[in-house]
C-alpha cells in the first residue's frame, strides 16, 4: 500500500537522526500523528527555532545563542586553562565532575583523513588565534582514546609546541569500581604505563 507522500517525507526526515532507521522513524511518525499532534507541533517549532538561533561560541565553538557561551563569559572561570574536547557532550561530562574550573575548546569532531576531516574542519585556526593572545598557561587534551582521538591530540600538541605552552592529557585507565579481570588489555596497559604516585 502506498503511503501519503507527506507521511513518507516525515519518515525520511526523521531518519537523519543517529541510530534511527526506517522502522523507528515510521514508529515515531505514527505516534506523533495518532497520539501527540500537539507534541509534534511543539517539536517542529522548537526544532526550527533551534536551527535558526543556536550557533557556535566565537571563542570555544560550543553551542550557544549568544556571542560567547556561558562558560567563556563567566569571569570566575580560569581562562588560562583550556581543555580541548571533541564535542559539546564532552563538555557536559567534564562539567558534571565538578572539578574543572577552566575553559574549553570544542573541536566538533576529530581528525579523520578517510572521512575528509582535516585541521581546518576542526577550527584549529580559531584555536591558534586564541593561543596567540598569550593568556593560555596550560592545555588539557581530552579527546577520545580512539586512533583518531590520539592522532588529533598529537597534532594539536605539535601545533602548540611553538607557543611554549604545556600540554597535558587526561588520565585513562581502570574506572572506579572496575574489576581488573573485566578490563580490556589496552585499557589495563595504559593504566599501568600512566600510573601515578600514591599519596598518603
pLDDT in tens, 1-54: 677 999 999 999 999 999 999 999 999 999 999 999 999 999 999 999 999 999
Mean pLDDT of 80-109: 94
Query: Rounded to whole angstroms, what are the CA distances from 155 to 17, 98, 122, 134?
Result: 30, 28, 12, 20
Percent of the chain scored above 70 by pLDDT? 97
- Whole-number CA gyration radius for the chain: 21
Mean pLDDT of 148-176: 88
CATH 1.10.8.420 domain residues, the chain: 5-53
Per-residue pLDDT at 196 exceeds 80: no
For β-strands 63-64 and 55-56, DSSP reports them as antiparallel
CATH architecture of 5-53: Orthogonal Bundle (1.10)
Per-residue pLDDT at 107 exceeds 90: yes
- Of 12-26, 72-86, 125-139, 175-189, the one with minimum mean pLDDT is 175-189
Per-residue pLDDT at 121 exceeds 80: yes
More confident residue, 173 or 143: 143
**pLDDT at position 183, please?**
77
Rounded CA-CA distance 80/52 in Å is: 32
Cell (9 digits) for 110: 576529530
Q: What is the DSSP letter of 66?
A: S
Q: What is the mean pLDDT of the chain?
A: 90
**pLDDT at position 77, please?**
97
State which CATH number among 3.40.1360.10, 1.20.120.80, 1.25.40.10, 3.40.1190.20 fits the domain covering 63-169.
3.40.1360.10
**pLDDT at position 175, please?**
75
> Rounded to the nearest 5 degrees, what angle is found at the Cα of 47, between the Cα atoms of 15 and 86?
75
Strands in 167-169's sheet, in edge-to-edge order, are 102-106, 78-85, 138-141, 167-169
Sequence-distant (6+) residues with CB within 8 A of 164 are none
CATH 3.40.1360.10 domain residues, the chain: 63-169
Per-residue pLDDT at 88 exceeds 80: yes
Per-residue pLDDT at 100 exceeds 90: yes
**pLDDT at position 193, please?**
77
**pLDDT at position 14, please?**
96
Amino acid at each position: 500500500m502506498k503511503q501519503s507522500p507527506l507521511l513518507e517525507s516525515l519518515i525520511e526526515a526523521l531518519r537523519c537522526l543517529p541510530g534511527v532507521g526506517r522502522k523507528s522513524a515510521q514508529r515515531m511518525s505514527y505516534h506523533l500523528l495518532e497520539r501527540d499532534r500537539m507534541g509534534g507541533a511543539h517539536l517542529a517549532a522548537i526544532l526550527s527555532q533551534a536551527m535558526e538561533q543556536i550557533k557556535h561560541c566565537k571563542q570555544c565553538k560550543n553551542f550557544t545563542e549568544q556571542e560567547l557561551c556561558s562558560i567563556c563569559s563567566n569571569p570566575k572561570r580560569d581562562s588560562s586553562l583550556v581543555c580541548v574536547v571533541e564535542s559539546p557532550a564532552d563538555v557536559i561530562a567534564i562539567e558534571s565532575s565538578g572539578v574543572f574550573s577552566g575553559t574549553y575548546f570544542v573541536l566538533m569532531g576529530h581528525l579523520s583523513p578517510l572521512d575528509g576531516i582535516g585541521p581546518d574542519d576542526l577550527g584549529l585556526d580559531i584555536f591558534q588565534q586564541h593561543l596567540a593572545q598569550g593568556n593560555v598557561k596550560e592545555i588539557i587534551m581530552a579527546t577520545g582514546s580512539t586512533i583518531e582521538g590520539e592522532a588529533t591530540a598529537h597534532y594539536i600538541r605539535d601545533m602548540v609546541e611553538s607557543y611554549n605552552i604545556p600540554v597535558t592529557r587526561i588520565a585513562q585507565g581502570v574506572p572506579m569500581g572496575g574489576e581488573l579481570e573485566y578490563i580490556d588489555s589496552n585499557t589495563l596497559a595504559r593504566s599501568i604505563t600512566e600510573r601515578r604516585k600514591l599519596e598518603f
